[in-house]
Amino acid sequence: MRNWFFILFVVLVTGCSSNEDKATTENSSKKETISSTKKEKKATPAKPIKEVKKHPKLTNENVVRFMTKYGKENPETILRLSCKFGDIDIKLYTNTPIHRANMVYLTKQGYFDLTQFYRVSPNFVDQAGNSDEWDCQVKRAEIGGYTLPAEFTPKNIHKFGSIAMARRYDKNPTKRSSPFEFYITLGHTYNDKEMRSHEREFGTKYTDTQKDIFNTLGGVPYLDQQHTVIGEVINGMDVALELNKVKVDGREWPLDEIAITMKVIR
């Protein structure tokens, strides 16, 4: 009888270990892109999750209706992201209402407290909102498997310090956003000649004020109209710059974890 229990135990362990997820990272453009991604490793004990009100599981079919109603009931626009390097205060734009409501919703649900900066690309972006930990993936599944419709506007540009959403590049012709993963834009400055060249290549038009921003502060203009810009850092860009210096692996995942927490300020 003991032999039968031993054989059963071996079969169960072997079966479980053969089903581990394999994650992939996308790069579908000749320029650097912002894709939603995840990386799997051995899980660690779950972090505490905030007590939250029950809401329906979100899908592509119900998300706009839900976020429209939720946004009216939750008009906040200022979030604070905290990590071991310090605090970063984010102002959410009101001209991307579905994305604003989504960020407030996920913050109040405690989702971001289970995540980290999972991509740090030097002089390009700091990307957060995902984790390889099991509790994060369980929370995502509980919230729902949905994406957000793009909310492009010429007023919102990928200037230095802007906040925008990651997305899939394959099978996504309307450029719908990942609801969970966002990034802080860094980039570099562009002179007038480079801006004219960019406008010709991508068919975009910028105001003189926007061109001055790229001239002086910098950013990543070729991501405009490719990813929805939802806000900007209003305090703590020194923190974003400092964490952008960390050592990363071949997928730009920090070698030392940079866990985050987020809360609504007002």
- Rounded to 5°, angle at Cα 251 from 103 and 113: 30
Cβ burial of 255 (10 Å; 0-12, 13-18, 19+) is exposed
195 within a domain of the structure (yes/no): yes
What's the first-to-final CA gap in the chain, in angstroms?
A: 64
Q: What is the pLDDT of residue 37?
A: 62
Checking if the pLDDT of 230 tops 50, the result is yes
Q: Are 47 and 115 in contact (CB under 8 A)?
A: no
What is the number of structural domains in the chain?
Answer: 1
59 within a domain of the structure (yes/no): no
42 within a domain of the structure (yes/no): no
Instruction: Place 54 in a pLDDT band, splitting at 50, 70 and 90.
Output: confident
pLDDT tens for 30-53 read 467 777 764 444 444 444 445 456
- Once rounded to an integer, what is the mean pLDDT over residues 137-159? 97
Q: Are 78 and 91 in contact (CB under 8 A)?
A: yes
Among 97, 85, 123, residue whose Cα is nearest residue 258: 85
pTM reported for the whole predicted model: 0.83
Q: Are 193 and 187 in contact (CB under 8 A)?
A: no
pLDDT tens for 96-110 read 999 999 999 999 999
Checking if the pLDDT of 220 tops 70, the result is yes
Checking if the pLDDT of 25 tops 60, the result is no
Q: What is the residue whose two structure tokens read 């004219």?
A: 196
Cβ burial of 252 (10 Å; 0-12, 13-18, 19+) is middle
Higher pLDDT, 141 or 14: 141
29 within a domain of the structure (yes/no): no
143 within a domain of the structure (yes/no): yes
Q: What is the pLDDT of residue 33?
A: 72
Residue type, 33: T
Strand (E) or helix (H) holding 66? helix 63-73
Neighbours of 12 (CB within 10 A): 10
Side-by-side strand order, sheet with 261-264: 116-121, 125-130, 182-185, 162-165, 229-235, 86-92, 78-83, 261-264
Length of the chain counted residue by residue: 266
166 within a domain of the structure (yes/no): yes
84 within a domain of the structure (yes/no): yes
126 within a domain of the structure (yes/no): yes
Enclosing domain of residue 83:
74-264
Average pLDDT, the chain: 87
Looking at residue 83, which CATH number applies to its domain?
Answer: 2.40.100.10
How far is Cα 21 from Cα 41, in angstroms, rounded to an integer? 9
